[in-house]
Amino acid sequence: MNPAKISFSRIGQLANPPIISHIMAVALENPDMLSLAAGFTDTKALPVQPVRDATLALSSNGKTPEYLQYGTTIGRPKLRKFVAKRLSQIDQHQSPAYNLDNVMLTTGSQQALYLAIQVLCDPGDILLVESPSYFVFLELLKGLGIQAVGIPVDENDEMDTVALSGMLAGWQSEGSLDKVKGVYIESWFSNPSTHCLSNGEKTALAEVLKEAGLLVPILEDGAYMELYFEEAFPSTSIFAIEAFDGFPRLFFGTFTKPFASGLKVGYAICDHSDILSKMVNVKGHHDFGSSNYTQSIVETAMTDGSYDAQLNKGRDRYLQKMEILNEVLIQQGLPDSGWNWQKPAGGMYFWVKGPVQADTSIESAMFENAVKEGVLYVPGDLCFAPEGPKSYMRLTYGVLERDDLAEAGQRLANVIKQSN
Amino acid sequence: MNPAKISFSRIGQLANPPIISHIMAVALENPDMLSLAAGFTDTKALPVQPVRDATLALSSNGKTPEYLQYGTTIGRPKLRKFVAKRLSQIDQHQSPAYNLDNVMLTTGSQQALYLAIQVLCDPGDILLVESPSYFVFLELLKGLGIQAVGIPVDENDEMDTVALSGMLAGWQSEGSLDKVKGVYIESWFSNPSTHCLSNGEKTALAEVLKEAGLLVPILEDGAYMELYFEEAFPSTSIFAIEAFDGFPRLFFGTFTKPFASGLKVGYAICDHSDILSKMVNVKGHHDFGSSNYTQSIVETAMTDGSYDAQLNKGRDRYLQKMEILNEVLIQQGLPDSGWNWQKPAGGMYFWVKGPVQADTSIESAMFENAVKEGVLYVPGDLCFAPEGPKSYMRLTYGVLERDDLAEAGQRLANVIKQSN
């Protein structure tokens, strides 16, 4: 019998496969394919011993195995307290915002982002994002029917607050300004641009929004905040920036990238209690709480110091890998061919800018060539909303081993040289 | 500064705290409170050793620690294969439905339910449910603006397919039948009624739906399927019932209740590939995959036999606890006071029916009295949609220890006797 024809909901109709899944499918077809596309973490650097030790400690004799019982929807109080305290220390700032009552734990920070968008935005609403922005988040918005609009940038690819101000004034006179329901920024080693936002840049953003009367929630993604290589970027979260007083503030963080992606523990901190309560209530409907066990492991690793040791190990490895890819791309003459990048100081990505006429898109000859040569990248145009230049590519050095990384860099350089 | 006034989305506006949270808050105020309300699993029966052994096995020397790396959105293939094969064995049936390609892993089965509703139903749509039904699921529907409508029951509290047929015919003539987007049934030791649906009952349901031209998705929840005490209920899943050919079928299962609630591993099996793909795509937006580590632990426990050993242990303990509560309620004379129940043959609940005039609701004198006496129950009216009788209560023997269980039963009996 033929399968019944389904009338899908609006969300069902918008539920398209992620574009990256096409790229991954291509990778699977060629076992020799080296992927500079997948944002996986370094397998060799995964915290086998800390996770094992945490499990042994949790299961030691005489202890109640509450870690294997249901937890609460909002998550473990002790870990939420660690989260609040740690951000307060990083910010070197104290305020009522850094309190466990403002923290919820989620299945990665992605779930926290989804919950925030669910409670704040209806289909057709607008969310301001950076240009470029995190493409998985852009797909999340698309899946819920929310319109992402990129904040204009200047010729140095910096946020152009004057142009933003003009854009908002235009919407104001059109009567569409109240469709803007929030602003999403990645302030540390952004995926994909590796850019960090200084407190000055963030303050300028707050001032433009305030001028426009747009006191909307600010969603700050700090996924890579602690994944600097040598020195932390000298900035604070929006909780410590006075210009954001009066804005509802949400900070999204994760233990996935800095500790273990297989545990999928992330969080949101929100200083607006109504927003947080509603996010927790919707999470109650999603799953009434993420795994209590993985939260307990992270909590243990935060207590016994293995979290920080692991973080330092990750920093070293990512720095070394970044250097390898950086060197091979330079040696292979990419800058001479008009392809440039900012050497990253943290995170997991290169954001490589080609000549204006370059086309890296998924339908391009260059992408086809890359597949033929056995190397994958993320086409940069996926990271712009509603659309953007096709001359960028995102590379990651997270998952490949050193030798493979050098080989992948050479293959990519060949592809780029052929395109000139 | 006052917090900014937020314009919440429709979902944000509907995001109310769960009613059970009020009951739990009451419990927290009295440290001596004994809760027959919380559907937690037995802490003493949690699989400490199996989880520990699985972690040690996964982390043994020489193995790639892929279990700590990101998994895929759909979940681990080996565990998905186990899931499909196990249901095929339980059903003693083979068909293309029992295939790993039809299985997705989720954060508990609750997330799978949420995803199914998201892709199938728009606000204002109707989902048919049993009377009574799982109240957490009813809240999920309310949170998304979906209307739950109870299938009529006869005087023996059995599904009344004749009355259902009449109801559907009424909607047909009103022109509202196409608002019905699916049917949700709990076929084994239902939460709250502890009722099992026989293949005959399910076939009758399918026939009425088919007659009405309503070939909508059937959502079968098997959370307690394997949690029988002595013998499995002699029925199969809807995949093995011919009357459901032509209906898109979804089966929801979990390792949370039968193994460890702290791991939060659940699943959906769906024989309609478009529905499953869309659920996976929306899960990509939720979290792009639940914890790979907790899935790996369940997979290991399924392989080394500790899953089945744990299940048997759970069956024994729940049987013993059920007997304790059953006995105390009888000894205390509840049946003589007009309060009756079907002795459960599995699951974690008693569904106690009082005299017609009884009022167990959260605003009732009885609930207030129970709080005073130090015992909690779930008011039965929460389990009916859109509304239902107030004369039921749901009790669980999952979490309390034996002595506490007996004491809780006595307190409850006192409350009930006072109400007469």
Residues A311-349 pLDDT 10s: 999 999 999 999 999 999 999 999 999 999 999 999 999
Compare all CA atoms of chain A with the CA of B282 and give the residue at the minimum distance.
Answer: A15
The amino acid at A233: F
Compare all CA atoms of chain B with the CA of A265 and give the residue at the minimum distance.
Answer: B291
Residue B374 lies in a domain: yes
Last residue of a domain, one of B282, B304, B326: B304
Both B104 and B247 in a single domain? Answer: yes
DSSP lists the bridge partners of residue A159 as A153
Both A388 and A250 in a single domain? Answer: no
Span B119-133, average pLDDT:
98
Compare all CA atoms of chain A with the CA of B107 and give the residue at the minimum distance.
Answer: A287
Last residue of a domain, one of A290, A306, A322: A306
pLDDT at B2: 45
pLDDT at A257: 87
Residue-wise pLDDT tens digits, A53-74: 999 999 997 888 999 999 999 9
Both A149 and A182 in a single domain? Answer: yes
Residue-wise pLDDT tens digits, B206-218: 999 999 999 999 9
The amino acid at B34: L
Both B96 and B230 in a single domain? Answer: yes
Residue B58 lies in a domain: no
Both A132 and A26 in a single domain? Answer: no
Residue A224 lies in a domain: yes
Instruction: Compute the C-alpha angle A156/A162/A167, nearest 5°.
Output: 110
For residues B28 and A244, the model is more confident at A244
Q: Which of A122, A119, A114 is nearest to A145 (CA)?
A: A122
pLDDT > 90? residue A92:
yes
Share of chain B above pLDDT 70, in %: 99
pLDDT > 90? residue B188:
yes
Structural domain tally of chain A? 2
Which uninterrupted H or E stretch holds A406? helix A402-419
End-to-end Cα, chain B, rounded Å: 54
The answer to whether A71 faces chain B, any CB pair under 8 Å, is: yes
Both B316 and B291 in a single domain? Answer: no
Inspect the interface and report whether the beta carbons of B248 and A43 lie closer than 8 Å. Answer: no
Residue-wise pLDDT tens digits, A267-315: 999 999 999 999 999 999 999 999 999 999 999 999 999 999 999 999 9
Both A171 and A122 in a single domain? Answer: yes
Both B31 and B101 in a single domain? Answer: no
Inspect the interface and report whether the beta carbons of A70 and B261 lie closer than 8 Å. Answer: yes
pLDDT at A3: 53
Written as one string, the DSSP assignment of B393-409 is EEEE-SSS-HHHHHHHH
pLDDT at B4: 65
Cα torsion through B337, B338, B339, B343, rounded to 10: 110
What number of C-beta contacts closer than 8 Å exist between A and B? 265
| B136 CA: distance to closest CA in chain A (Å) | 8
Span B383-408, average pLDDT:
94
Residue B91 lies in a domain: yes
Both B144 and B86 in a single domain? Answer: yes
Question: What DSSP designation does A248 have?
Answer: -
The answer to whether B25 faces chain A, any CB pair under 8 Å, is: no
Residue A1 lies in a domain: no
Both B326 and B192 in a single domain? Answer: no
For residue A283, the enclosing domain spans: 65-306
Span A69-95, average pLDDT:
97
pLDDT > 60? residue B3:
no
Inspect the interface and report whether the beta carbons of B125 and A9 lie closer than 8 Å. Answer: yes
Share of chain A above pLDDT 70, in %: 99
How far apart CA B225 and CA B144 sit, in angstroms, is 27
Residue B38 lies in a domain: yes
Span B395-419, average pLDDT:
94
Other CB atoms closer than 10 Å to residue B156's CB: what's the count?
6
Q: How confident is the model at residue A4 (pLDDT cuts 50, 70, 90)?
A: low
pLDDT at B257: 87
pLDDT > 60? residue A2:
no
A9, A68, A262: residue with CB nearest B67: A262
The answer to whether A28 faces chain B, any CB pair under 8 Å, is: no
Q: Domain holding B321: CATH number?
A: 3.90.1150.10
Both A280 and A394 in a single domain? Answer: no
Residue A56 lies in a domain: no
Exposure string for B267-292, b = 16+ CB within 10 A, e = fewer:
bbbbbbebbbbbbbbbbbbbbbbbbb
Inspect the interface and report whether the beta carbons of B48 and A68 lie closer than 8 Å. Answer: yes
Neighboring chain B residues of A15 at a CB cutoff of 8 Å: 119, 277-279, 281-282, 285
Both B258 and B316 in a single domain? Answer: no
Share of chain A above pLDDT 90, in %: 89
A40, A70, A136: residue with CB nearest B70: A40
Residue A60 lies in a domain: no
Last residue of a domain, one of B287, B304, B321: B304
Is residue B359 within 8 Å of B365, Cβ to Cβ?
A: yes
